[in-house]
Amino acid sequence: MVEEYLHRIRHKGLRDRVVSADQAASLIKDGMVLGMSGFTRSGEAKAVPLALAERARREPLKVTLMTGASLGNDLDKILNDAHVTSRRMPFMSDPSLRRSINAGEVMYIDQHLSETVEQLRTGQLPGVDIAIVEAAAITETGGIVPTTSVGNSASFAILADKVIVEINLNQSEQLEGLHDIYIPTYWPVRTPIPVVTPESRAGFPYIPIPPEKIAAIVLSNKLDSSSTVTEPDDGTRAIAGNLTEFLKNEVARGRMPASLHPLQAGIGSIANAVMHGFIDSPFHDLTMYSEVLQDSTFDLMDAGKMVFASGSSITLSEPKYAEVMGRFQDYKRKLVLRPQEISNHPEVVRRLGIIAINTALEFDIYGNVNSTHVMGTNMMNGIGGSGDFARNAYLSVFVTKSIAKDGRISSVVPMVSHVDHTEHDVDILVTEQGLADLRGLAPRERAQLIIRNCVAPEWRDGLQDYFDRAVARGGHTPHLLEEALSWHDRLRRTGTMKPE
Amino acid sequence: MVEEYLHRIRHKGLRDRVVSADQAASLIKDGMVLGMSGFTRSGEAKAVPLALAERARREPLKVTLMTGASLGNDLDKILNDAHVTSRRMPFMSDPSLRRSINAGEVMYIDQHLSETVEQLRTGQLPGVDIAIVEAAAITETGGIVPTTSVGNSASFAILADKVIVEINLNQSEQLEGLHDIYIPTYWPVRTPIPVVTPESRAGFPYIPIPPEKIAAIVLSNKLDSSSTVTEPDDGTRAIAGNLTEFLKNEVARGRMPASLHPLQAGIGSIANAVMHGFIDSPFHDLTMYSEVLQDSTFDLMDAGKMVFASGSSITLSEPKYAEVMGRFQDYKRKLVLRPQEISNHPEVVRRLGIIAINTALEFDIYGNVNSTHVMGTNMMNGIGGSGDFARNAYLSVFVTKSIAKDGRISSVVPMVSHVDHTEHDVDILVTEQGLADLRGLAPRERAQLIIRNCVAPEWRDGLQDYFDRAVARGGHTPHLLEEALSWHDRLRRTGTMKPE
């Protein structure tokens, strides 16, 4: 056993810090702020949170839990069911936790993913007491080598009082060298972030912290949860087709090269279909500068379409994970994982001129997008990185199917019930019905284009009627305020947006 | 006469391009896209637009008009009244043009001020046919020395087919050297913007274009419109006091130094009062990294409180203008004017850690801010730079008086009727009633703090009642959608938000 892991703790002075998960968890006190690794269900600390949930059965234990993004292995469910999570930021996607958030039992702070550690390091959020970080190894100098995600782990470890490292013996040692840990400099004079292409490397291949901060090392072996890939259907294929056609036209008009601009894609089945759609496209030498590298990234590489991908995590289906890890050295030189502050940084997103493709829950006839709140009230997951990318992208694209819930809901509404992305930050809207290019258009023009191109036929007349009557009343962005949210209210009362 | 201006056209080969305003305006054809200098009513081209409006009396003439921001000398009114303006971007503040926009007669594209030229240079907006730029001089190489604003002039001139320069003989020649014209590099590899402090200089003191692009030079002598400074009243003084107290506390807690962070302040009487409030504060060695430098900037310099100010324009009252220009050399080394793409650039705003102070039209109990639309439909002015700053600021502050229209309107409402700044982008809300520090709070916590601290007493119970009933229904961001916009609808129907 000893030999199995000792080479993963290359700093000899740290080898005696190896303890059980229970012992490590005992460092955590009621009321603490924890900063945990994990981003889109990969690379999260796995053993200590379980021990913590177990402990909470015996004694009152509530913490503020910060992560990169969502956790795998049902950890958000387990911690929430054990009533450990009292505050949570900046993203989650677990149904059990979602219920507690919407019931007002857990205080959830839904943040742009690039901003959490900026607020932390300036003392604008309560400081992290303990960071818990999954690692593939600890270097000779005590540097922490992350696993399949970086997320906020680096800043958590740097800013925390103490660090617990989980060495996951089932995470490949080949991961070392994959990461580029660059942390912005501090005021009074902050220097530019030296990332000028998706390939740029600017930092360390490990999280550099003083080894004495590592208070405990725990061994673990649970795998990352695998992602469930939904196969493309007619709807998502049509969305992908509409977007590909548009981009082909942009290339034909000389607005961008056939390698496009670096791509960012949100998670989910639509974004996945869109990315897969590029396999059969005429584009080539594609790159990604995104948050999450999913199956489609590697499929595009295998198809010879993509030459490089930068992200903050790798989240794969089970077969893809086996395949990628089976020949990881082939992929490694085409990949880099960064802190989410850098993968999503406004400075870099704007500089690189990213094509940002994110999923809307609903959008309205003027192009405002709701990504988070069902019926304006219930949190779905969180804004994630969509705002970081949409605001600063070269091209900000939002995709969704035009209808939901077997046609009882139109995804295009008179007024969104919650705004995450304003009309100022949305360039292109795509549904299976078609695409609306909103660039350079005034609200009234946008409305006509959206109604014509993006709305399902059975909802078109209703939206046109709303728009016409609003225009009769006047205004730059014509609305009938007494009716603007009536579609949602009808849905709440009757189970469908359709007129009673 | 000749000697009076020849030294302002130092490139000898350009001297024969001097023509009348009418002749220059004749270069402009129906349907063209014009890019004009001018930002917050300063530094706009003054003679050619008048000649254009005159010409439109005799022949059909419609153009797309892009500027930096608002124009002085009633030019937006004159051009609109002459029906010259068919499309307008990215900002305006003229009542006549506002009426036409809200009537749907002029298509208005309300943009983040940092984004217009980025969209232009990538061909995502129709290209500029002719740039019309006010200048203090033309250099030996044909470089254009702007006057009291830079705005979008540099990129307009660089991207346009032809350039008309208006040499304004009444703009001081001392302005030369004030400007720093840095234009971002182009893809495939864009380099960081080398601005790391408000004082950083990275570009030319003039707009560098090939002299052969200058198709006409016109002489003018109209002064900039002077700004009307509203004296602080009890309300704005209370807002300033609340914010100053908060910042003092931040300094006391060690979150920032007594020189604070670089300040950005929107225009208007509240922002002005806030800036003036700093004169009697304990803060010192203040800097600005803002759009508009107003009277208060120079008052703070005179008071020994401010050491440097970076902006995109100088907009002053009549007495202040005379005073500043009278001893401009004293101020010049403490000032720089930049293209608005740089003054408002997300990259620089985030890097410098700016304290952004902007005015809200209204905000809601969850911290969403409306800066643009009266009753969700009628455009006021535009989002301007508020989004550029609020999103990326170290501290995003929005200020407003808690009531409007003699108390018939509460500026705090259940749900804003239009969202320009989402809850994700708003840290601090201030009214004369008090201040709400929203950092790290979930929506339900925000609501209680906002209702308690920011709302006028006569509206508090109504908002609390709405919130309580919404909470009873549940949700992360509890709302009663059938009632969320009822305060606005009541105002529309009865002239007050007060219950019937």
Is a pLDDT exceeding 80 seen at residue B229? no
Provide, as residue numbers in chain B, all residues whose Cβ is less than 8 Å from the Cβ of A375: 475, 481
Long-range contacts of A438-441 (CB under 8 A, 24+ apart): A438/A367, A439/B119, A439/B124, A439/B125, A440/B89, A440/B109, A440/B119, A440/B124, A440/B125, A440/B126, A441/B107, A441/B109
Provide, as residue numbers in chain B, all residues whose Cβ is less than 8 Å from the Cβ of A485: 481-482, 484-485
Mean pLDDT of B303-332: 95
In this structure, is the dihedral angle defined by the CA atoms of residues B230, B232, B233 and B237, taken in order, positive or negative?
positive
Is a pLDDT exceeding 80 seen at residue B470? yes
Of all residues in chain A, the percent with pLDDT exceeding 70 is: 99
Is a pLDDT exceeding 60 seen at residue A18? yes
Size of interface A-B (CB pairs under 8 A): 228
Of the pLDDT bands very low, low, confident and very high (cuts 50, 70, 90), residue A377 is: very high
Residues B240 and B197 in one domain: no
CA-to-CA dists, residue B217 to A115, B16, B166, B177, B191, angstroms: 48, 9, 6, 21, 34
- A137-189 pLDDT, tens digit per residue, is 999 999 999 999 999 999 999 999 999 999 999 999 999 999 999 999 888 89
- B337-370 pLDDT, tens digit per residue, is 999 999 999 999 999 999 999 999 999 999 999 9
Residue B320 assigned to a binding site: no
Is a pLDDT exceeding 70 seen at residue A1? no
Residues A50 and A148 in one domain: yes
Task: Give the CATH number of the domain where residue B119 resides.
Answer: 3.40.1080.10
For residue B88, being part of any structural domain is answered with yes
Residues A201 and A272 in one domain: no
In this complex, the residue of A261, A422, A486 whose CB is nearest that of residue B419 is: A422
> What integer pLDDT is reported at residue B2 of this predicted model?
57
- Tell me the C-alpha distance between A386 and A396, whole Å: 9
Are B196 and A193 a contacting pair at CB < 8 A?
no
Burial profile B22-46: b = 16 or more Cβ within 10 angstroms, e = fewer: eebbebbeeebbbbbbbbbbbbbbb
Are B190 and A351 a contacting pair at CB < 8 A?
yes
Provide, as residue numbers in chain B, all residues whose Cβ is less than 8 Å from the Cβ of A486: 482
Mean pLDDT over the full length of chain B: 96
The two three-digit tokens of residue A141, written as one number: 């100098």
Of all residues in chain B, the percent with pLDDT exceeding 70 is: 99
Beta strands B137-138 and B144-145 are antiparallel
For residue B499, being part of any structural domain is answered with no
In this structure, is the dihedral angle defined by the CA atoms of residues B94, B99, B102 and B107, taken in order, positive or negative?
negative
3-state secondary structure of A467: helix
- A231-279 pLDDT, tens digit per residue, is 889 999 999 999 999 999 999 999 999 999 999 999 888 888 899 999 9
> What integer pLDDT is reported at residue A69 of this predicted model?
97
The two three-digit tokens of residue B2, written as one number: 């000749």
Considering only CA atoms, which of A73, A29, A449 is closest in space to residue A225? A73
Domain that holds residue A74: 6-220
In this complex, the residue of B102, B350, B485 whose CB is nearest that of residue A476 is: B102
State which amino acid sits at residue B124. Q
The alpha carbon of residue B93 is apart from the nearest alpha carbon of chain A, in Å, by: 14
Are B441 and A392 a contacting pair at CB < 8 A?
no
Q: Is there a catalytic annotation at residue A140?
A: no
Are A123 and B419 a contacting pair at CB < 8 A?
no
Of the pLDDT bands very low, low, confident and very high (cuts 50, 70, 90), residue B212 is: very high
Q: Considering just the CA atoms, what is the radius of gyration of chain A in Å?
A: 23
In this complex, the residue of A123, A350, A475 whose CB is nearest that of residue B102 is: A475
Residues B104 and B155 in one domain: yes
Catalytic-labelled residue, pool B291, B341, B362, B432 = B291
Contacts of A134 (CB under 8 A, 6+ apart): A37, A38, A43, A44, A45, A46, A146, A147, A153, A165, A166, A168, A171, A220
Are B444 and A107 a contacting pair at CB < 8 A?
yes
Are A492 and B478 a contacting pair at CB < 8 A?
no
Catalytic-labelled residue, pool A44, A134, A291, A341 = A291
Least confident of B125-134, B185-194, B434-443: B185-194
Mean pLDDT of A190-199: 97
If one counts every other C-beta atom within 10 angstroms of the C-beta of residue B333, the result is 11
Are B255 and A197 a contacting pair at CB < 8 A?
no
Residues A182 and A279 in one domain: no
CA of B262: which chain A residue's CA is closest?
A188
Degrees to nearest 5, angle at CA B359 with B356 and B360: 120
CA of B101: which chain A residue's CA is closest?
A476
Which site among A354, A424, A480 would you substitute to test the B interface, given the most B Cβ atoms closer than 10 Å to its Cβ? Answer: A424
- Tell me the C-alpha distance between B44 and B51, whole Å: 14
In this complex, the residue of B87, B345, B476 whose CB is nearest that of residue A378 is: B476
Provide, as residue numbers in chain A, all residues whose Cβ is less than 8 Å from the Cβ of B482: 485-486, 489
Are B350 and A353 a contacting pair at CB < 8 A?
no
Contacts of B353 (CB under 8 A, 6+ apart): A122, A187, A190, B261, B262, B393, B394
For residue A324, being part of any structural domain is answered with yes
Mean pLDDT of A441-452: 98
Provide, as residue numbers in chain A, all residues whose Cβ is less than 8 Å from the Cβ of B94: none
Provide, as residue numbers in chain A, all residues whose Cβ is less than 8 Å from the Cβ of B346: 346-347, 350, 391-392
- Tell me the C-alpha distance between A210 and A157, whole Å: 10
Contacts of A468 (CB under 8 A, 6+ apart): none
Considering only CA atoms, which of A276, A247, A260 is closest in space to residue A427? A247
In this complex, the residue of B109, B346, B352 whose CB is nearest that of residue A350 is: B346
The alpha carbon of residue B31 is apart from the nearest alpha carbon of chain A, in Å, by: 15
Residues B208 and B335 in one domain: no
Are B192 and A196 a contacting pair at CB < 8 A?
yes
Are B420 and A418 a contacting pair at CB < 8 A?
no
Of all residues in chain B, the percent with pLDDT exceeding 90 is: 95
- Tell me the C-alpha distance between B398 and B403, whole Å: 15
Which site among B285, B417, B481 would you substitute to test the A interface, given the most A Cβ atoms closer than 10 Å to its Cβ? Answer: B481
For residue A270, being part of any structural domain is answered with yes
Residues B331 and B433 in one domain: yes
**How much of chain B is in helix, strand and coil states, percent to nearest 5?**
35, 20, 45
Residues A240 and A213 in one domain: no
- Tell me the C-alpha distance between B260 and B262, whole Å: 7
Residues A199 and A239 in one domain: no
Provide, as residue numbers in chain B, all residues whose Cβ is less than 8 Å from the Cβ of A477: 373, 376-377, 379, 418
Are B196 and A189 a contacting pair at CB < 8 A?
yes
Domain boundary at B158, B190, B220, which? B220
Mutual angle of helices A295-302 and A269-277, in 10-degree steps: 10
For residue A500, being part of any structural domain is answered with no
The two three-digit tokens of residue A212, written as one number: 């004495």
Tell me phi and psi for residue B271, to 5 degrees: -60, -40
The distance of Cα B16 from the centroid of its chain, to the nearest Å, equals: 36
State which amino acid sits at residue B65. L
CA of B124: which chain A residue's CA is closest?
A439
Residues B118 and B246 in one domain: no
For residue B32, being part of any structural domain is answered with yes
> What integer pLDDT is reported at residue A268 of this predicted model?
81
> What integer pLDDT is reported at residue A187 of this predicted model?
85
Which site among B186, B422, B428 would you substitute to test the A interface, given the most A Cβ atoms closer than 10 Å to its Cβ? Answer: B422
- B404-441 pLDDT, tens digit per residue, is 999 999 999 999 999 999 999 999 999 999 999 999 99
In this complex, the residue of A253, A418, A441 whose CB is nearest that of residue B109 is: A441
Residues B397 and B449 in one domain: yes
> What integer pLDDT is reported at residue A2 of this predicted model?
58
For residue B73, being part of any structural domain is answered with yes
Provide, as residue numbers in chain A, all residues whose Cβ is less than 8 Å from the Cβ of B475: 102, 373, 375, 377-379
Domain boundary at A177, A198, A220, which? A220
Mean pLDDT of A302-322: 96
Residue ranges for the known binding site of A for CoA are 381, 385, 405
Residue B222 assigned to a binding site: no
Task: Give the CATH number of the domain where residue B367 resides.
Answer: 3.40.1080.20
Tell me phi and psi for residue A52, to 5 degrees: -65, -45
The number of distinct structural domains making up chain A is 2
CA-to-CA dists, residue A63 to A31, A79, B296, B430, angstroms: 5, 10, 46, 30
Contacts of A250 (CB under 8 A, 6+ apart): A256
DSSP H or E stretch at residue A135:
strand A130-135
Of the pLDDT bands very low, low, confident and very high (cuts 50, 70, 90), residue B272 is: confident
Are A110 and A382 a contacting pair, CB within 8 Å? yes
- B56-97 pLDDT, tens digit per residue, is 999 999 999 999 999 999 999 999 999 999 999 999 999 999
Provide, as residue numbers in chain B, all residues whose Cβ is less than 8 Å from the Cβ of A470: 377
For residue B101, being part of any structural domain is answered with yes
> What integer pLDDT is reported at residue A423 of this predicted model?
96
Domain boundary at A220, A253, A286, which? A220
Residues A263 and A212 in one domain: no
Q: Prior bond to A194 cis, omega within 30? A: no
Are B479 and A104 a contacting pair at CB < 8 A?
no
Mean pLDDT of B190-203: 97
